[in-house]
C-alpha cells in the first residue's frame, strides 16, 4: 500500500476558495459586547451593506468543537420559534480553529433590565414601563419554553441573563431564549444527566429537587426557573438570592440555597411533596434542617412584603410555577392558559407595547478592560482617583454583578473562593478567568470606592 493522503489537494483548495470567512462578511472589530465562559460576543454589521441590521457574532471559547459547541450547533440548527434565538449561520475558521455563530442581535436582556429597575427603585425614580410588560415577558418565555419542551429539548440554565429582548426593529420587544449550549435532549438520555456536567443551573434558579440530588433534569426544572424569573420581574429582587462560595461543586446538595428557599416558601410538608422521601439527599435534609425554623415563612408573606397581593392573578400563577413538588408544578402549556394572561392588560408581542424603551443599549467592552484587570495593581490608585464619573461607577457595578455571589461577602473578601461562571450571555462582564488575588484587589478597590462616599444606592446594588 502506498502512503495514503488524507485529503485531496484539489478538494481542499476548492473548499478553501468557496469558504466565506466571518471577517470578510462582517464588521465587528472593536464591537465586543460580551465575554464569559461561553466565549466572546460582538455586535456586527454586514460589510456589503446589503442590510443595515445588527448581528450578534459569538466566537465560541476555546478552539475546535467542544461537546457544548456541538450541542449548541446541533440544536439551534433545528429549532425555529419566534421566542428562541435564531442561529443564522456557522463560520468555521480553519486557521485558528475558531467557531463563530451568527445570530440576530438582541439589544436587551432580563439581567440588564432587572438591574436597571433595581437601580431606579433604589434611587426612588421608578422606571416607566407599560403595565403589561412583565406579563408579556412571562408569556413569551413560556411560549419559547413550550416549544423547546415539545421538541424534547430542555434548557437547563434559565436565568435572567439568558432571556434576551429585541430592541428597535421588526422584532421590537420580542423575547428570545438564548444560550442553549447546555441544553440537551431528554427523551432518551444516553447517560444519566447528572453525570455530564456536575452543576449546570445557577443556584438561585435551581429547583429544590436538583438541590436534593435529583439525577435527571426535567421540564419541571425549567418551569421552576421561570417561576424564579417571574418573581424577580415582579419585585426586582432575585427571590432565592443566596450567598455562594463555590458554584462548581460536584455535590448538588446546597444547604444555604435550600435554607433560602425554605425561608421564602416554608418547609415542604410531606403531604405537599410525597416523593421528597425518595430524594437522594433527603436524609441530609432531615439532619440539617428543622422545619420549626420556617413555620412563619410562606410565598404569600414574601410576595406581600414586595407588594404583590396574594389574591392577584399574578400571584396565583407564580404559586403554581413555584410548587416544591415537581410533579405538581404547572407545565408551560397549562401556564399559558392561565387566567393571568386572559386578564387586562393582555400580553403583547412587543413587550414594550410601543412605548419608548427606557433601557440603555449594550455598551462596547474594550480589550483594555481585561488589561486593566490584569494591571490592577499598577492602576489601582490612579483609578480610584479618576473614577468619579458615572460611567466608571456603572462599570464597577457591572463587574460586580457579573460575579453575582460576591455580594454579602463584603465583610470578608478572603472567604470568597470562586466566581460564578455565568453561562451566559453577551451582556455579562465576567471576570472568572482572573486569578483570585486579582479579584480580591478589584474587590478592595470597589470597597474603597464605597468608602469614598458613593451613594447608598451603590451599596444596595452591591448586595444584590
Partner 1 sequence: MSGNFWQSSHHQQWLLDKQDLIRERQHDLSILAEDEYQKIFIFFASVIQTLGEQLKLRQQVIATATVYFKRFYARNSLKTIDPLLLAPTCIFLASKVEEFGVISNSRLITTCQNVIKNKFSYAYTQEFPYRTNHILECEFYLLENLDCCLIVYQPYRPLLQLVQDLGHEEQLLTLAWRIVNDSLRTDVCLLYPPYQIAIGCLQIACVILQKDHKSWFAELNVDIEKIQEIARYIINLFELWKTYDEKKEIQGLLAKMPKPKAAPQR
Q: Which of 142, 146, 51, 156 is nearest to 102 (CA)?
A: 51
Q: What is the dihedral sign for C-alpha 308, 311, 313, 318?
A: positive
Residue 96 beta carbon to partner 1: minimum distance, rounded to whole angstroms: 12
Q: Does 51 bind partner 1 (CB under 8 A)?
A: no
Spell out where 309-452 has E strands. none
Looking at the Cβ atoms of 16 and 296, the one nearer to partner 1 is 16
Residue 177 beta carbon to partner 1: minimum distance, rounded to whole angstroms: 16
- For 307, the grid coordinates are 407588594
Query: Cell 470568597 belongs to which residue?
Result: 416
Query: Among 10, 48, 96, 270, which residue interacts with partner 1 (rule: CB under 8 A)?
Result: 10
Phi, psi of 91, rounded to the nearest 5 degrees = -110, 130
Residue 322 beta carbon to partner 1: minimum distance, rounded to whole angstroms: 27
Q: Does 15 bind partner 1 (CB under 8 A)?
A: yes
From CA 288, how far away is CA 270, in angstroms rounded? 17
Looking at the Cβ atoms of 128 and 190, the one nearer to partner 1 is 190
Residue 252 beta carbon to partner 1: minimum distance, rounded to whole angstroms: 19
Which helix (DSSP H) or strand (DSSP E) does residue 101 occupy? Answer: strand 98-104
Q: Strand, helix or coil at 34?
A: strand
Residue 281 in contact with residue 212, Cβ under 8 Å? yes
Looking at the Cβ atoms of 78 and 304, the one nearer to partner 1 is 78
From CA 48, how far away is CA 386, in angstroms rounded? 41
Residue 180 beta carbon to partner 1: minimum distance, rounded to whole angstroms: 12
Beta bridge partners of residue 365, listed in sequence order: 32
Looking at the Cβ atoms of 73 and 212, the one nearer to partner 1 is 73
Residue 69 beta carbon to partner 1: minimum distance, rounded to whole angstroms: 8
- For 2, the grid coordinates are 502506498
Looking at the Cβ atoms of 65 and 120, the one nearer to partner 1 is 65
Q: Does 5 bind partner 1 (CB under 8 A)?
A: yes
From CA 25, how far away is CA 33, in angstroms rounded? 19
Looking at the Cβ atoms of 48 and 195, the one nearer to partner 1 is 195
Is 179 known to be catalytic?
Answer: no
Q: Which of 80, 53, 245, 195 is nearest to 148 (CA)?
A: 80
Q: Pick out residues in 143-162 that bind partner 1 (CB under 8 A).
A: 150-153
Residue 76 beta carbon to partner 1: minimum distance, rounded to whole angstroms: 9
- For 207, the grid coordinates are 429547583
Residue 220 in contact with residue 326, Cβ under 8 Å? yes
- For 40, the grid coordinates are 466572546
Q: Is 320 annotated as a binding residue?
A: no
Residue 120 beta carbon to partner 1: minimum distance, rounded to whole angstroms: 41
Residues composing the chain: 464
Distances in whole angstroms, Cα of residue 372 to Cα of each of 118, 155, 367, 439: 27, 35, 9, 12
Q: Pick out residues in 56-95 that bind partner 1 (CB under 8 A).
A: 64-67, 70-71, 73-75, 77-78, 80, 90, 92, 94
Residue 351 in contact with residue 135, Cβ under 8 Å? no
Q: How many CA atoms lie within 13 A of 376 on its CB side?
A: 17
Q: How many residues bind partner 1 (CB under 8 A)?
A: 40
Catalytic choice (54, 157, 179, 222) = 157
Candidate segments 11-19, 123-131, 198-206, 368-376, binder of partner 1 by CB under 8 A: 11-19
Q: Does 37 bind partner 1 (CB under 8 A)?
A: no
List, as own/partner pairs, every contact residues 28-33 make where C-beta atoms lie below 8 angstroms and the sequence separation is at least 24, other chains included: 28/57, 30/364, 30/366, 31/364, 32/364, 32/365, 32/366, 32/367, 33/362, 33/363, 33/364, 33/365, 33/426, 33/427
Looking at the Cβ atoms of 92 and 346, the one nearer to partner 1 is 92
From CA 142, how far away is CA 138, in angstroms rounded? 6
Q: Does 21 bind partner 1 (CB under 8 A)?
A: no
Looking at the Cβ atoms of 50 and 187, the one nearer to partner 1 is 187
From CA 65, how far away is CA 128, in angstroms rounded? 44
Residue 325 in contact with residue 274, Cβ under 8 Å? yes
Q: Pick out residues in 160-219 that bind partner 1 (CB under 8 A).
A: 184-185, 187-191, 196
Indicate the annotated binding residues for ATP: 58
Residues in contact with partner 1 by CB under 8 A are 1, 3-11, 15, 19, 64-67, 70-71, 73-75, 77-78, 80, 90, 92, 94, 97, 150-153, 184-185, 187-191, 196
Q: Which residues are catalytic?
A: 157
> Which residues fall in the annotated binding site?
58
Amino acid at each position: 500500500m502506498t502512503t495514503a493522503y488524507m485529503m485531496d489537494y484539489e478538494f481542499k483548495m476548492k473548499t478553501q476558495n468557496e469558504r466565506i470567512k466571518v471577517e470578510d462578511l462582517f464588521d465587528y472589530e472593536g464591537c465586543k459586547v460580551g465575554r464569559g465562559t461561553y466565549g466572546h460576543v460582538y455586535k456586527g454589521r454586514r460589510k456589503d451593506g446589503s442590510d443595515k441590521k445588527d448581528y450578534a457574532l459569538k466566537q465560541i471559547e476555546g478552539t475546535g468543537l467542544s461537546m457544548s459547541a456541538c450541542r449548541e450547533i446541533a440544536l439551534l440548527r433545528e429549532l425555529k420559534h419566534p421566542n428562541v434565538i435564531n442561529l443564522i449561520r456557522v463560520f468555521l475558521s480553519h486557521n485558528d480553529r475558531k467557531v463563530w455563530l451568527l445570530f440576530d442581535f438582541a439589544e436587551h436582556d432580563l439581567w440588564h433590565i432587572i438591574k436597571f429597575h433595581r437601580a431606579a427603585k433604589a434611587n426612588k425614580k421608578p422606571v416607566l414601563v407599560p403595565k403589561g410588560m412583565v406579563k408579556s415577558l412571562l408569556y413569551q418565555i413560556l411560549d419559547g419554553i413550550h416549544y423547546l419542551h415539545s421538541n424534547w429539548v430542555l434548557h437547563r440554565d434559565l436565568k435572567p441573563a439568558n432571556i434576551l429582548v429585541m430592541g428597535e426593529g421588526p422584532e421590537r420587544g420580542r423575547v428570545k431564549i438564548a444560550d442553549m449550549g447546555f441544553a440537551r435532549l431528554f427523551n432518551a438520555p444516553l447517560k444519566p444527566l447528572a453525570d455530564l456536567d456536575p452543576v449546570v443551573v445557577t443556584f438561585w434558579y435551581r429547583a429544590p429537587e436538583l438541590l436534593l440530588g435529583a439525577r435527571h433534569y426535567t421540564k419541571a426544572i425549567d418551569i421552576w426557573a421561570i417561576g424564579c424569573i417571574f418573581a424577580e420581574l415582579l419585585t426586582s429582587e432575585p427571590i432565592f438570592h443566596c450567598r455562594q462560595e463555590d458554584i462548581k461543586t460536584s455535590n448538588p446538595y446546597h444547604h444555604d440555597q435550600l435554607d433560602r428557599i425554605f425561608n421564602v416558601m416554608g418547609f415542604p410538608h410531606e403531604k405537599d411533596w410525597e416523593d421528597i422521601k425518595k430524594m437522594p439527599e433527603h436524609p441530609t435534609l432531615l439532619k440539617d434542617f428543622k422545619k420549626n425554623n420556617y413555620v412563619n415563612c410562606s410565598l404569600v408573606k414574601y410576595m406581600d412584603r414586595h407588594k404583590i397581593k396574594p389574591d392577584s392573578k399574578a400571584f396565583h400563577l407564580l404559586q403554581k410555577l413555584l410548587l416544591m413538588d415537581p410533579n405538581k408544578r404547572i407545565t408551560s402549556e397549562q401556564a399559558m392558559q392561565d387566567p393571568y394572561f386572559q386578564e387586562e392588560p393582555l400580553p403583547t408581542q412587543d413587550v414594550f407595547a410601543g412605548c419608548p424603551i427606557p433601557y440603555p443599549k449594550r455598551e462596547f467592552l474594550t480589550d483594555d478592560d481585561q488589561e486593566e484587570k490584569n494591571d490592577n495593581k499598577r492602576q489601582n490608585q490612579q483609578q480610584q482617583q479618576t473614577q468619579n464619573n458615572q460611567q466608571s461607577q456603572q462599570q464597577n457595578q457591572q463587574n460586580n454583578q457579573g460575579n453575582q455571589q460576591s455580594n454579602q461577602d463584603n465583610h470578608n473578601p478572603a472567604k470568597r473562593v470562586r466566581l460564578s461562571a455565568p453561562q451566559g450571555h453577551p451582556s455579562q462582564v465576567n471576570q472568572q478567568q482572573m486569578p483570585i488575588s486579582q479579584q480580591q484587589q478589584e474587590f478592595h478597590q470597589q470597597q474603597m470606592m464605597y468608602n469614598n462616599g458613593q451613594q447608598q444606592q451603590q451599596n444596595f446594588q452591591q448586595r444584590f
